[in-house]
Chain A
Amino acid sequence: MNRSQPEPRDGSAPTSPSRHDGDVGEVGKGPTSPRRAAASPPAETLRRERAASRVVAAAFAVSALGAAGFATVYATGGQTQLEGLSLAVAFAGIALGLGVWARRLLPGGGHVEEHEPFDSPPAEVRLTADELTGTESPLRRRGLVAALGLAVGALGAAALFPLRSLLPFDRERPVHALRTTPWAPGVRLVRADGTPVRPADVPAETVLTVFPEGHRDRGDVPAFAVRLDPARFTAPPPGGDLDGIVVYSLLCTHAGCPVALYLKGTARVLCPCHQSNFDLLAAARPIAGPAGRALPGLPITVDADGYLTATGDFTAPPGPGFWSLK
């Protein structure tokens, strides 16, 4: 026991010169440090210690209550707010108790540890280097090392090939997939619920989101139809118009968010992600924000049954740009 606690613990040597000369009270960081307390009368110190112990014990008790509270809340059906609160109380109790314990009842600060410089003795360095590159070292056969390097390099290169499996081989190749969509001549425009659209259904005050029939879930197909006044066009719509009905890709040419906010009156659409604005009267050119290219248009006609139908793919690849985009 003495080995771990070398100092005389009852302060039985008050006359020892080192006791007041030591004046270790100066070491501590703050007035609450126990070593500062060592300088004050023992009775006062004891009182403070007892008070601190009481706080610690109370905090741990509160923590236990919190834990019990959590268990109770959980067992009786659970309630998120109470669960969180009771768990927080349980942890905060432990935290507070440990914190007070550390500050009031345990020594803090005042210690120093040596920090040896970070250079090994030169002899040690030399011996290690000799071990690595000495006469027996395989590194001396440079030709063989080079051959090994070739083998490992080839293996590493070969190991990259399976990365190609990340794109399943039955999928379209990237550039082709990005350039084309299922929109094609004769594909009907349908709403989100799959019902086809007549020209009369296209609103003038808002945009109608449309999809190619049978391809609702593809990411590159969403488009919107809107009725505009052809007299106000300042540039012809790329996909043409059908008595003022124009259809554009819904995907912003900046980062692919749907440009779902229609500012009626000005006939602009706005992307909610990065605030790109497109002027539908001027062939959906970007007029503000970070988008750099116009929305691709969709050429449409009316089929024999009176429904809107595409006459081809978008006039340009929809959505954000890519390296091979002409």
Chain B
Amino acid sequence: MTATLETPAAVSDVDAAVTLSGVRKVFGHGPNGVVALDGVDLSVAPGEFVCLLGASGCGKSTLLNLVAGLDAPTSGSIEVTTSRPAVMFQEAALMPWLTAARNVELPLRLAGLKRGPRREKASELLSLVRLVGAGHKRPHELSGGMRQRVALARALASTLGSAEEGTPGLLLMDEPFAALDAITRDVLQAELVRVWRETSTAILFVTHDVREAVRLGQRVVLLSSRPGRVVREWSTVDCDEPAVIEDITTHLREVISGHAAA
């Protein structure tokens, strides 16, 4: 994937959408405390697509929760310069009592937008994820892939819709395609790249799939497990894809086998 990004002019004065410096997160207290993240330094440029890669227990989801503001770091700082970050989970987690369009409207409603602009923005986002005719449907009437696209539209509404026009967005994705079948996942990955290009939203994408990370991201960041630390990062812009995949896989295996002795 040779994803070259046209940097949007509006955001050129900000050098990072999100900056993490020395982030440490401990769950529990004293000797029983579990260190989930330790000394994580990471920054995502506005409009950049970064994939966080790691095995189980590397604190990927913890990291996203911290950036989303759902949890606070034990020490270190997290600086977000975009509008409110939006989170997408492995499950679509749509509100089952709302239609697809109303689900997309929900964050706009919470932000206090009037009905007219709310409707307009929601239908705009639904057409962005190619769900023009499905706005009136309830989640149980949609397929898994369609639900995840509604969730994407809702996340975009959350980060873009409530902010001032032109404020860059930030999308945090926690293995959003892991529960989908291979064909649907393949299509949705391509759709995500298309949507990302059209909206120039920065994306922090967590996955344990090396191929997915290399295919989607401009940059792949490998995290170690227990505690999570940044091991290495790779730029995947204009790279030799199979070689990078192989290199990352080797490193990932090294990180995992390091735990065998313990």
- Does B associate with A? no
